[in-house]
A and B are shown apart, each in its own frame.
Chain A
Amino acid sequence: MKELSALSLQQKTIKALGVNTKDAKISLSYLSVAFATLLIGGILGLVQGLQRAGLLELPPWLNYYQVLTAHGILLLLVFSTTFTIGYQYANLSHSLGGLLPKVRKLAWSGFSLMIIGVILVVTMIVLNEASVLYTFYPPLAAHPIFYVGLVFVVLGILACCFGVFINYRHWRKTHPGQTTPLLAFFAMGVFVLWFFASIGVTIEVLTLIPWSMGIVETTNVMVDRTLFWWFGHTLVNIWYLVATSAWYVIVPKIIGGRHFNEKLIRLVVILLVILNIPGGFHHQIIDPAISESIKFLHVFMSLSIAVPSLMTAFAMFAVFERAGRKKGGKGLLGWITKLPWGDVRFLAPMIAMISFIPGGAGGIVNTSNQMNQVIHNTMWVVGHFHVTVGMSVVMTFFGICYWLIPYLTKRKLTPQMNRLGVIQTIIWTVGMILMAGSQHLVGLLGDPRRTSFTTYGDHPRALSWIPYEYVMGIGASLLLLGVIIQVYAVINMMFFAPKGETTFPVAEPEDNALPAPMWTERWGLWSVLLLMVVAMAYVVPIVDMIVNAPPGSPPIKTW
């Protein structure tokens, strides 16, 4: 009872004072970079899609792989990272009653480091010195400055991680006996995972800098690939965890319901944090130098993520059904009609959640050893991550914008902007279904990924892919239209929407809900368990790769 009253007092204070303007500035700066990047990355996406379908010939100063690298790095790394930090810091500021001054400084330092890093990285890509694709692992070698830029980006992320840890510790010390608010708990999960994910890529990039400078002659390609996917796959799940924070805590409030059992939500976060990193191995299923038995054991480690994902699916649909029935939904499926489909803040994340069903099923195909052999180097994989990232994650991010940005700028979401948001969501959904759907299908027919347009000397098989590639081009055009509308909506809500009050929609627990158990806050223990799982997963293959290493690869520039 005491806890509840303390919580409501805090909520009242936040409501009375509104958003902390200093904290809002941090979030808005990150979000501005995110959406500027989305626009550039989106344009590059269309250019790439049209080139891939043979509908557009690039000028001699620009090549397909350059565009592919820029599109991947800008959207997968920069857009997702800056949006996540902006959103998570807003969550932290709201739920912990404001950021500490030193945490603000860390967030700004992180921002500056990331901007410097991104400028270095993008400059090298534009100069055609780093067409190494967004995965940037060897033997393809970029200019050393490209890797130095990546170091700056990682340092920026680490600064933001420490900011969250410091704010969390401070709150725990000043609120003994209380569990942290759910959104802050999610933020801890996200940044703990980010901290440990960064270790792998940091080691990789630090070995690549002397290699690309010619100080070291060769590098161990297998170890570098493994360290990249340690980071790369975890990053995917960081986005997913960010999206689930909105699904569990924000969406129930928007539909007028309550959030699911807090113990289960916290357990999902803990499981996602502990089990995540070894999932990277399913990206390497067709790599040589990893034995079959290790790959087999890793199928279990990758699939363990399906457990918290299925728990989420169950919990979310239970929340929807309860909310729909409370509003008078009758019969087996009557509650579905009672959900606020016309509200973009619900519609976008709802479609995102639904798309996670095919996305997750496709993920199981990718994780399974035998099925992966069929699809590994094909457009199927491109389709898969456009469904998971482009729909499940990005549509949730878009849905978040429609309340977060007006809240931060002390403006209102107008009915017109809501309608535009609904239209944008529909365009985006149709675009993604066309593009990712045809990518999945043409992948099954053997169309390779990461390949510029070619008819392979008019080979009949290659010609049979072209209709699907046209559909991809149509999808990509719709998606660019979606990007333009979204960026317009963001600018409108940042600068032009009418002034007013927008609440931060945080769902309450059910009336008879039990308090969350304190043991869930043992982040020290969760980190040790995470490290143990990493040790179990990585010791065997990495020792094998080093002890039985081939001579190593010199830097290779294919362009």
Chain B
Amino acid sequence: MKQFIYGLLLFVFLTLPPVATLLESIMIIHMHLQMPLLIFSGFLMARFFKVRFPAFFYKWNRNGIPGILLFSIILVYWMIPRTMDEALTVYASEIFKFISLPFLAGIPLRDSWRKLGSVSKNIVFLIFIILFILMGWLFIGVDDQICNNYLRVDQITLGWGYVTLAACMIIYIVQLIFGDQSEFE
């Protein structure tokens, strides 16, 4: 229950107009800080929903695959530059962002991650590493302004953000593969 309250507080904090405006004023902070924090708030709140509706999660997300698919779809959706642009200009889209990321990505991620086997986890990592590298390449390389609301330099910054995140994920995977994880249990 404590986790739910922390998650809810984080969610409420992120929805405060000055906070949202500040975080959305810089492209990379919008995508790589506000959005992950929204997912994290859902991740924390998930505990309450899992305790309250165990049958629902058992019925719809028994092996974790549907949950991780939903998480991936929501994440990929918000990685499309146009959706980020719309969140700033179309009010309904902004509301959808604040609902979809915590509740349709954060909660399923929490429920699915422990249910997934190591192979599925590695596939998820691999997909997102490839996706992040591609997005990085796109944002750094493209000569046009992709988003109406952000400058080209913001785009390049976001591109490098993707590349560094992908690099961190690769290092994480490498140390998982070459290190003996059983020694930490």
State whether the Cβ of A213 lies closer than 8 Å to any Cβ in chain B. no
State whether the Cβ of B183 lies closer than 8 Å to any Cβ in chain A. yes
For B175, give its contact among A519, A521, A524, A548 (CB under 8 Å): A524
Contacts of A177-216 to chain B: CB distance below 8 A: 177
- A525 pairs with B172, CB closer than 8 A: yes
- As a 0/1 sequence over residues 148 to 185 of chain B, the CB contacts with chain A under 8 angstroms (1 = contact) are 00000100110011001101100110011001000111
State whether the Cβ of A544 lies closer than 8 Å to any Cβ in chain B. yes
- CA of A70 to CA of B28 in the docked complex: distance in angstroms? 42
- CA of A75 to CA of B64 in the docked complex: distance in angstroms? 57
State whether the Cβ of A536 lies closer than 8 Å to any Cβ in chain B. yes
Which B residues lie within 8 Å of A293 (CB)?
A: 22, 25-26
- CA of A519 to CA of B181 in the docked complex: distance in angstroms? 10
Query: If A293-B26, A525-B172 touch, does A539 touch B160 (CB 8 Å cutoff)?
Result: yes
- A532 pairs with B184, CB closer than 8 A: no
Closest-by-CB residue of A relative to B170 is A528
Which A residues lie within 8 Å of B156 (CB)?
A: 543, 547
- CA of A294 to CA of B153 in the docked complex: distance in angstroms? 15
- As a 0/1 sequence over residues 22 to 58 of chain B, the CB contacts with chain A under 8 angstroms (1 = contact) are 1001101100110000000000000000000000000
- As a 0/1 sequence over residues 516 to 541 of chain A, the CB contacts with chain B under 8 angstroms (1 = contact) are 00110110110110011001100110
Contacts of B79-102 to chain A: CB distance below 8 A: none
- CA of A532 to CA of B171 in the docked complex: distance in angstroms? 11
Which A residues lie within 8 Å of B183 (CB)?
A: 172, 176-177, 518, 521
Closest-by-CB residue of B relative to A529 is B168
- A524 pairs with B28, CB closer than 8 A: no
Query: If A522-B184, A535-B161, A539-B161 touch, does A528 touch B168 (CB 8 Å cutoff)?
Result: yes
- B171 pairs with A531, CB closer than 8 A: yes
- B28 pairs with A531, CB closer than 8 A: no
What's the least CB distance linking B122 to chain A, in Å?
Answer: 16
Closest-by-CB residue of B relative to A297 is B29
- CA of A531 to CA of B174 in the docked complex: distance in angstroms? 14
- A536 pairs with B33, CB closer than 8 A: yes
Closest-by-CB residue of B relative to A177 is B183
- CA of A431 to CA of B179 in the docked complex: distance in angstroms? 50
- B175 pairs with A539, CB closer than 8 A: no
- CA of A293 to CA of B175 in the docked complex: distance in angstroms? 35
What's the least CB distance linking A3 to chain B, in Å?
Answer: 14
- A524 pairs with B172, CB closer than 8 A: yes
Which B residues lie within 8 Å of A177 (CB)?
A: 183
- A528 pairs with B171, CB closer than 8 A: yes
- A539 pairs with B164, CB closer than 8 A: yes
For B165, give its contact among A172, A519, A522, A535 (CB under 8 Å): A535
Closest-by-CB residue of A relative to B152 is A547
Q: How many residues of B contact A (CB 8 A)?
A: 24
- A527 pairs with B153, CB closer than 8 A: no
What's the least CB distance linking B178 to chain A, in Å?
Answer: 9
- As a 0/1 sequence over residues 151 to 178 of chain A, the CB contacts with chain B under 8 angstroms (1 = contact) are 0000000000000000000001000110
Inter-chain CB contacts under 8 Å: number? 59
Which A residues lie within 8 Å of B179 (CB)?
A: 524
- As a 0/1 sequence over residues 264 to 302 of chain A, the CB contacts with chain B under 8 angstroms (1 = contact) are 000000000000000000000000000001100100000
- A548 pairs with B160, CB closer than 8 A: no
- A547 pairs with B153, CB closer than 8 A: yes
Which B residues lie within 8 Å of A176 (CB)?
A: 183
What's the least CB distance linking B109 to chain A, in Å?
Answer: 17
Contacts of A297-323 to chain B: CB distance below 8 A: 297
For B153, give its contact among A521, A528, A536, A544 (CB under 8 Å): A544
What's the least CB distance linking A319 to chain B, in Å?
Answer: 28
For B28, give its contact among A525, A528, A532, A539 (CB under 8 Å): A539
Closest-by-CB residue of A relative to B182 is A176
- CA of A522 to CA of B172 in the docked complex: distance in angstroms? 11
For B157, give its contact among A521, A525, A532, A544 (CB under 8 Å): A544
Which B residues lie within 8 Å of A524 (CB)?
A: 171-172, 175-176, 179
Which A residues lie within 8 Å of B32 (CB)?
A: 536
- CA of A525 to CA of B179 in the docked complex: distance in angstroms? 11
For B185, give its contact among A294, A518, A532 (CB under 8 Å): A518
Query: If A524-B175, A535-B165, A536-B32 touch, does A548 touch B184 (CB 8 Å cutoff)?
Result: no
- CA of A176 to CA of B180 in the docked complex: distance in angstroms? 11
Which A residues lie within 8 Å of B161 (CB)?
A: 535, 539-540
- A543 pairs with B160, CB closer than 8 A: yes
- B28 pairs with A540, CB closer than 8 A: yes
- CA of A548 to CA of B151 in the docked complex: distance in angstroms? 12
A293, A521, A536, A540 — which one has the most chain B CB atoms within 10 A of its CB?
A540
- A539 pairs with B157, CB closer than 8 A: yes
- A528 pairs with B175, CB closer than 8 A: yes
Which A residues lie within 8 Å of B25 (CB)?
A: 293
- CA of A466 to CA of B157 in the docked complex: distance in angstroms? 48
- A543 pairs with B157, CB closer than 8 A: yes
Query: If A543-B153, A548-B153 touch, does A532 touch B26 (CB 8 Å cutoff)?
Result: no
- CA of A518 to CA of B181 in the docked complex: distance in angstroms? 11
- B184 pairs with A540, CB closer than 8 A: no
Which A residues lie within 8 Å of B168 (CB)?
A: 528, 531-532, 535
- A527 pairs with B184, CB closer than 8 A: no
Which B residues lie within 8 Å of A532 (CB)?
A: 165, 168
What's the least CB distance linking A80 to chain B, in Å?
Answer: 29
- A519 pairs with B28, CB closer than 8 A: no
Closest-by-CB residue of B relative to A291 is B26
What's the least CB distance linking B119 to chain A, in Å?
Answer: 20
Closest-by-CB residue of A relative to B179 is A524
- CA of A176 to CA of B182 in the docked complex: distance in angstroms? 10
- CA of A540 to CA of B172 in the docked complex: distance in angstroms? 23
- A525 pairs with B175, CB closer than 8 A: yes
A177, A524, A532, A539 — which one has the most chain B CB atoms within 10 A of its CB?
A539
Which B residues lie within 8 Å of A522 (CB)?
A: 184
Which B residues lie within 8 Å of A521 (CB)?
A: 183-184
Query: If A293-B22, A547-B153 touch, does A535 touch B28 (CB 8 Å cutoff)?
Result: no
- CA of A220 to CA of B156 in the docked complex: distance in angstroms? 19
| 17 pairs, A vs B, C-beta closer than 8 Å | A293-B22, A518-B185, A519-B184, A521-B183, A524-B172, A524-B176, A527-B171, A527-B175, A531-B164, A531-B168, A532-B168, A535-B164, A536-B32, A539-B28, A539-B161, A540-B28, A547-B153
A-B contact sample (20 more), CB < 8 A, given A518-B183, A531-B168? A177-B183, A297-B29, A521-B183, A524-B172, A524-B179, A525-B172, A525-B175, A527-B171, A527-B175, A528-B171, A528-B172, A531-B167, A535-B161, A535-B164, A539-B28, A539-B161, A540-B161, A543-B153, A547-B156, A548-B153
List the 4 shortest-distance A-B pairs measured between CB atoms, nearest first: A524-B175, A535-B164, A543-B157, A528-B172
